[in-house]
Structure 1
Amino acid sequence: MPDNPFLDPSFQIRWSALTPEFIAPGIETALAEAQAAVEAIATRELAGLTFENTFLALEHATEPLTVAWGRVTHLQSVADTPALREAHNAMLPRVSAFLAGIALNAPLWARLKAFAESPVARAVTGIHRRFMEETVKDFRQAGADLPADQRARLEALQSELAQVTQKYSEQVLDSTNAWQLLVPEADEARLAGLPAHAKAAARRSAEAKGLAGWRFTLHMPSQEPFMTYLEEDALRREMWTAATQVGARDPHDNTGLILRILELRAEKAALLGKPHFADLTLERRMAGSGRRAFDFMHDIQQRAAPAFAQECRELEEFKAQQTGGTVTRLAPWEVIYWAEKLRRARYAFDEEALRPYFPMTGVIAGMFELVSRIFGLRVVERAVGAGVEVWHPEVKYYDLFDHAGRHLGSFFADWYPRESKRGGAWMNYLLTGGPQPDGTRKPHLGLICGNMTPPVPGPTGKAADAKPALLTHREVETVFHEFGHLLHHLLGEVEIKSMNGVNVAWDFVELPSQIMENWTWERESLDLFARHHETGASIPDAIFAKLVAAKNFRSAAATMRQVAFAKMDLLLHMRTAEFVGLKDVEPAVRAAIADCLIPTEPPTPTVVKRFNHIFSDPVGYAAGYYSYKWAEVLDADAFTRFKREGIFSAQVGAEFVANILSRGNSADPAELYRGFMGRDPDLNALLQRCGLAPAA
């Protein structure tokens, strides 16, 4: 076992030992070993090249480094501290430069290309051929054929991109954490309308900071109920203003970073012979080009536009009718509030009425039962301590087995918000196992994280008398979504690790996650886990009927919100020259997507200053936010098989595993999809599900 815990290859990670002082020496050692391994390939005699000593050797060369660095970046996202951030940022440029430089290593590329073009390479078949061909494309797309001076510039670009996108992410987190709203004891009446659970959470938040009253933050479990239910307009305006200023004000202003990131990406695309970053990024995704992705989103916009205009007008008319005022545009801090009132009036449905039926423990248990029935899986929680460590006391650990008792993998689950943890929800992998050369199979290791409504401590502060975490239906969807990503990793049967699980085309990766959300809307599956936390009763028929009836309430507005994000992303990366010369991209970006935004007075700023999806990673979702809608087409269409043949059909589930979940990037995603559905996807399935097209 290595002395440095970041280099320990053991399946059970010693989280308590992963402290900041070990980051630099551990990553330096891993970098040196990876460099030596790459150099060994790059200096091989051309006459003795084989698949094993070129492509397969390269696959293995960087694995210890990527595993070690993955632990560093994971901790930075869930347990951020000044010391950890400093150690991470000190090594980030070197790791980024090394990884980016692999494809720009001329002697290495010469060996790979020589073997790929040799007669013996024609005998390489199956997943090895796919890996060889994909690697050659990776190198060419990354600039391997560029002259030396341009390769050097590309390496510098990649290193700087890693640093400025990391800084962007840090400033979003820091500015989110920097704001609080404290309502003092004497002003309790100002909290009228706020649900009891949100008020109790705000009380606990204040107590944790040694304050009296109720403390609200910009973290979603605090912000969402506040903006949805609080009656006082002035307080909602105060929180809305703070939320729109995340990443937009000193000392956490991302304005300059956005411009620099766009410049660097545009220069990278130009070096690689592409007109813009979107075409570079999407060249090997399902969309194929920025224009096709843009046209796809524009098509959806056109289909949703009439319903969107009607929804906006209805909300203005509803507010006027309720207040006795004239029909005018709403203020942006009023939209969610009045939309919720309209939904209640139209469907007599209060989403808060569902919370008691969604205790986190029940949701998790029901989800595990669901995948047992559909995919033949068994999930078992393992107690922390018996050889298992976690990075925070709230984290759970589970083992996953198939119907034959084979250990497919294990995973960590970290569901509740902390100031040291970034926002949102995500899945990631820590170790990739899968089929081995000797015919055995090693288990995979992964994780899922979220920022869900947390449990409510009891009067004694002990876990035994705490009230359970009660989720919204949207939070339940998120839990299922991230678990779908996790299954994609844990069920992978691809022997080339870099092609396993979620390492697929970005606009295909959301299919396994988004399809899981469908089961949160089906009565049969809800009855597995949606039970009242006190009585054990299932959701009453009347409430379920309202849930379904309200499902597509303002669905055009929800669709247009996604269109706005995707078009903003694509326009920034397709027409970069129009933006980089500006002092601030916000006005121009807003004007470009104004027809996708709810008309308000004053106008709502865009999320460009806090858009982590596209600016907190050198690539990430940049030029790829459209992928959510693209994959929604896939998941809506694919779920029609379950609807037709049975939502618990083990046969359909087995085929989904065989064609999608186990295959990773072992074949073109369109081919994998056709393997499951027998045809190409049908857009109408999504439009019908959203109520934007008549049912078939």
Structure 2
Amino acid sequence: MKKTIVLSMMILFSIASSQGASDGTESNPLLMKWNTPHETAPFNLIKTENFVPAIDVALAEARKDVDAIINNPEPATFQNTIEALEVSGEQLDRVTGVLFNLNSAETNKELQAVAREVSPKLSEFGNYVSLNEDLFKRVKAVYDKRESLDLTPEQAKLLENSYKGFVRRGANLQGEAKKRYAEITTELAQLSLKFGENVLEETNAFELLITDEKDLSGLPEAVREAAQQLAKSKGKEGWMFNLQYPSYLPFMKYADNRELREKMYRTYTSRAFKDNDYNNEEIIHKIVNLRLEKANLLGFKSHADYVLSERMAETPEKVNSFLEELHEASKPYAEKEFKEVTDFAKANGLKGELQRWDWAYYSEKLKTEKFGFDEEEVKPYFQLEKVREGVFELAHRLYGLNFKENKDIQVYHPDVTAYDVFNEDGSFLSVLYLDFFPREGKRGGAWMNDFRAQSNINGKMERPIITVVTNFTKPTETKPSLLTFDEVETFLHEFGHSLHGMLANTVYPSMSGTGVYRDFVELPSQIMENWATEKEWLDLFAVHYQTGEKIPAELVDKLIKARNFQSGYLSERQLSFGMDDMAWHSITKPVTEDVISFERRVMDKTELFPHVDGSCFNTAFSHIFAGGYAAGYYGYKWAEVLDADAFSMFKKNGIFDKATAESFRKNILEKGGTQHPMELYKAFRGQEPTVDALLERSGLKE
């Protein structure tokens, strides 16, 4: 049940599911025992119409589990209340795990309708549990005598989490306040769903079909071929571009046609900001104001205060101070970089002001001129299959892991590959799904999730089932998938999250793997990105897809030098997102100001470009309005401090040093959320981190 209430409510952005006709529960594959490898989901048997009846049955079973705890005539104990609550609703966890993951990676209108139908049911059940006075009495009874209980450290943490979780979900509310809290949580779940659906709809709605070859000027041959293949797949003649990153970003970076770059930019940045059924402005107001109201009901002055009371950062003041410190360090560099690109663009024929649709185009040309580094020059050495082998080999050298494709595991789309993952001693560790390429049913970006979390209750070890989903460059008829350097870093990032899930070694599933504070969860992912410029690792796999030649040392040197290119600008951009997030969630009175005015007022201190009418960042800011990063987006920069500091240990001892890796595994990856993150970090590093390593790595320190 813990996953259903906490995770399902947290990742309703992943949802977008479907309704269907009831087909009787006896033959419903979602409710049967899965006689499959590692009890993985039988995707070949599951139909959209199976979900609603399966969730109805699973909800009823979960309620029975909870009622059994409430009605237990024995006095409340850790085992019959806290642990029983942790393991309740197992079937519901399983069914919603399939639903949410499919709705993120392979959705459709029917599946989205299911999400809308089941969302209020899940919210209602979540409130039945968290607002249940009799259940809370039992939880509180155990918590009140915690000092006299003979609990392990992990059991003590679970007890603390359980009690605080009830309080933070309204258990102490009474009467109308409790009723209103339930209404708010239900409405927020539905609004987050709708926000994500609108962004996906607007992303998929746009296609730029080019029929005149001169409009392709500047675009590399591989980009042209991919565009031609996309047009062909749509039954069109010519070259097609869309708003998915593998199509959008190369166009903005290389296309000489400024008018078309402007068209692409304006379309991308106006998603869910147009006068149509998919506009997210009103939804944003509703979400932030309801979050404020919920926080007030729980005794907090803002949603940020509520969230950060259970984060490493602790308070909005500390987050804002952290962001401001990095802003002051980054802004002078960002201004110099902006002037450098502006001067370069004017020297190369730009008339008028440098606009946002010019930035990637002229930045790429300047980078090539300064460092002799061209993204297209690197891509032939990053064939996806080889990169995957390199990432697997990195996990082997660090942690002794081995990966073997298992074709007997059913997958939900032909693009997906499933692997058995083994420890060095041959023991089974995890299932890993890899899903690389964009499609209309997949939301944008990249993420890691789980179908099943690791647990080991009463000696019954359940190993995790993990999925990594990306939107990488697809192969063409003449070329394999050749990744950009950014995509290689993204692979490493999400694989780092997967290691956090796969290597989990806790007792309770709510605290395994990525079940940690939001501002700590990015450490295992971001530290992996550091290997991307290490020649010793690149030499293991980075060979030219045609000649087999290893990536040349001088090319790696260029890549390293170019890595900090415009680091000030990039830092300011990331900080602006964090400041924007904090502003929305630090409000103490309901917002009536229109979204674009609020956005500009908050983000102006980091702004370098003239404003673009018709563009809005927040209406597609899914991380905070359809995901779990509300009052938490700063966590990316926070974790950068941690990862830069942590990787310095590998730089000191060797990038494949087994002892350092073992310490990181034992103290960070295996422990999940069983201890406070700073305790875990200090156990690995021996000290608290400082920003020095990050500023030095980013070239933002003299």
Q: TM-score range by the shorter chain?
A: over 0.9
Aligned-partner Cα distance in 2 for 1:3–1:493: 35
Please state how far the C-alpha of 1:120 moved relative to its aligned partner: 8.1
The counterpart of 1:251, out of the listed 256, 264, 277, is 277
The counterpart of 2:692, out of the listed 661, 677, 684, is 684
Quickly say closer, same or farther: Cα 1:397–1:119, change in 2 above 3 A. closer
Aligned AA (2:625):
F
In the alignment, structure 1 residue 358 sits paired with structure 2 residue 385: no
Partner of 1:534: 546
Please state how far the C-alpha of 1:215 moved relative to its aligned partner: 0.9
Aligned-partner Cα distance in 2 for 1:343–1:270: 49
Partner of 1:430: 451
The counterpart of 1:196, out of the listed 203, 221, 226, is 221
Bigger Cα displacement from structure 2, 28-37 vs 139-148 = 139-148
TM-superposition CA deviations, 1:293-340 (whole Å, max 9, x none): 121111100111111111111111111222286xx6311111111111
Q: How does 1:528-607 map to 2 (within 5 A)?
A: 528-575=540-587, 577=589, 580-582=591-593, 584-600=594-610, 602=612, 605-607=615-617
Aligned AA (2:666):
A
Partner of 2:15: none
Partner of 1:518: 530
Aligned-partner Cα distance in 2 for 1:335–1:119: 58
Please state how far the C-alpha of 1:576 moved relative to its aligned partner: 5.8
Given that 2:454 and 2:512 are in contact with CA atoms closer than 8 Å, whether structure 1 keeps it comes out as: no
TM-superposition CA deviations, 1:623-645 (whole Å, max 9, x none): 10000000111011000000000
Aligned AA (2:542):
A
Please state how far the C-alpha of 1:125 moved relative to its aligned partner: 2.5
TM-superposition CA deviations, 1:146-198 (whole Å, max 9, x none): 113212211111110000110000000000101111111xx101110011111
Partner of 2:244: 219
Please state how far the C-alpha of 1:96 moved relative to its aligned partner: 2.0
Aligned AA (1:658):
K
Partner of 1:448: 468
Given that 1:262 and 1:576 are in contact with CA atoms closer than 8 Å, whether structure 2 keeps it comes out as: no
Aligned-partner Cα distance in 2 for 1:20–1:324: 52
Partner of 1:461: none
Partner SS state of residue 468, structure 1: coil
Partner SS state of residue 6, structure 1: coil
Partner SS state of residue 357, structure 2: coil
Aligned-partner Cα distance in 2 for 1:602–1:48: 64
Given that 1:115 and 1:121 are in contact with CA atoms closer than 8 Å, whether structure 2 keeps it comes out as: no
Partner SS state of residue 348, structure 2: helix
Please state how far the C-alpha of 1:126 moved relative to its aligned partner: 2.1
The counterpart of 1:263, out of the listed 289, 292, 298, is 289
Q: How does 1:182-331 map to 2 (within 5 A)?
A: 182-184=209-211, 187-249=212-274, 250-323=276-349, 329-331=353-355
TM-superposition CA deviations, 1:61-106 (whole Å, max 9, x none): 1232122112111111122122211122111111122124422111
Aligned-partner Cα distance in 1 for 2:95–2:622: 24
Aligned AA (1:331):
Q
Partner of 1:462: none
Q: How does 1:594-633 map to 2 (within 5 A)?
A: 594-600=604-610, 602=612, 605-617=615-627, 620-633=628-641
TM-superposition CA deviations, 1:538-596 (whole Å, max 9, x none): 11122111111111110000000100100000001102637x213x2112211221121
Please state how far the C-alpha of 1:604 moved relative to its aligned partner: 8.8
Aligned-partner Cα distance in 1 for 2:573–2:147: 52
Given that 2:97 and 2:452 are in contact with CA atoms closer than 8 Å, whether structure 1 keeps it comes out as: no
Quickly say closer, same or farther: Cα 1:121–1:9, change in 2 above 3 A. farther
Aligned-partner Cα distance in 2 for 1:295–1:39: 46
Aligned-partner Cα distance in 2 for 1:337–1:628: 26
Given that 1:493 and 1:662 are in contact with CA atoms closer than 8 Å, whether structure 2 keeps it comes out as: yes
Quickly say closer, same or farther: Cα 1:163–1:541, change in 2 above 3 A. same
In the alignment, structure 1 residue 643 sits paired with structure 2 residue 651: yes
TM-superposition CA deviations, 1:642-690 (whole Å, max 9, x none): 0000000011111110000100011110000000000001210111110
Aligned-partner Cα distance in 2 for 1:604–1:306: 29
Aligned-partner Cα distance in 1 for 2:44–2:687: 50
In the alignment, structure 1 residue 407 sits paired with structure 2 residue 435: no
- Computed over aligned residues only, the root mean square deviation of the Cα atoms, in angstroms, reads 1.6
Given that 1:263 and 1:576 are in contact with CA atoms closer than 8 Å, whether structure 2 keeps it comes out as: no
Please state how far the C-alpha of 1:602 moved relative to its aligned partner: 4.2
Partner of 2:507: 495
Partner SS state of residue 448, structure 2: strand
Quickly say closer, same or farther: Cα 1:102–1:236, change in 2 above 3 A. same
Quickly say closer, same or farther: Cα 1:376–1:324, change in 2 above 3 A. closer
TM-superposition CA deviations, 1:266-291 (whole Å, max 9, x none): 10011011110011011111011122
Partner SS state of residue 540, structure 2: helix
Aligned-partner Cα distance in 1 for 2:323–2:314: 14
The counterpart of 2:359, out of the listed 332, 335, 339, is 335
Aligned-partner Cα distance in 1 for 2:67–2:611: 61
Aligned-partner Cα distance in 1 for 2:297–2:33: 38
Partner of 1:109: 136
TM-superposition CA deviations, 1:98-154 (whole Å, max 9, x none): 124422111100011012213785222221111001111111122211113212211
Partner SS state of residue 687, structure 2: coil
Please state how far the C-alpha of 1:605 moved relative to its aligned partner: 3.9
Q: How does 1:62-141 map to 2 (within 5 A)?
A: 62-118=89-145, 122-141=149-168
Aligned length: 673
Aligned-partner Cα distance in 2 for 1:128–1:348: 56
Aligned-partner Cα distance in 1 for 2:673–2:146: 25
Report the TM-score, using the length of structure 2 for normalisation: 0.94
Partner SS state of residue 539, structure 2: helix
Aligned-partner Cα distance in 2 for 1:59–1:15: 27
Aligned-partner Cα distance in 1 for 2:52–2:511: 28
Aligned-partner Cα distance in 2 for 1:650–1:592: 45
Please state how far the C-alpha of 1:441 moved relative to its aligned partner: 2.9
Aligned-partner Cα distance in 1 for 2:262–2:353: 15
Aligned-partner Cα distance in 2 for 1:469–1:629: 30
Please state how far the C-alpha of 1:606 moved relative to its aligned partner: 4.1
TM-superposition CA deviations, 1:358-413 (whole Å, max 9, x none): 00000000111111111111111122xx2x11000110011111111110111111
Aligned AA (1:209):
K
Aligned-partner Cα distance in 1 for 2:552–2:613: 41
Aligned-partner Cα distance in 1 for 2:84–2:347: 70
Quickly say closer, same or farther: Cα 1:592–1:103, change in 2 above 3 A. same
Given that 1:636 and 1:685 are in contact with CA atoms closer than 8 Å, whether structure 2 keeps it comes out as: yes
Please state how far the C-alpha of 1:435 moved relative to its aligned partner: 2.7
TM-superposition CA deviations, 1:189-227 (whole Å, max 9, x none): 111001111111111111111111111100000000000
5+ residue gaps, structure 2, are 1-24
Aligned AA (1:165):
S
Partner SS state of residue 89, structure 1: helix
Aligned-partner Cα distance in 1 for 2:279–2:121: 26
Partner SS state of residue 334, structure 1: helix
Aligned-partner Cα distance in 1 for 2:83–2:659: 35
Aligned-partner Cα distance in 2 for 1:8–1:56: 25
Aligned AA (1:243):
Y
Partner SS state of residue 411, structure 1: strand
Aligned-partner Cα distance in 2 for 1:63–1:88: 19
Aligned AA (1:592):
V
Aligned AA (1:349):
F
Please state how far the C-alpha of 1:600 moved relative to its aligned partner: 3.0
Partner SS state of residue 7, structure 1: coil
Partner SS state of residue 333, structure 1: helix
Given that 1:330 and 1:601 are in contact with CA atoms closer than 8 Å, whether structure 2 keeps it comes out as: no
Partner of 2:14: none
Bigger Cα displacement from structure 2, 171-180 vs 337-346 = 337-346
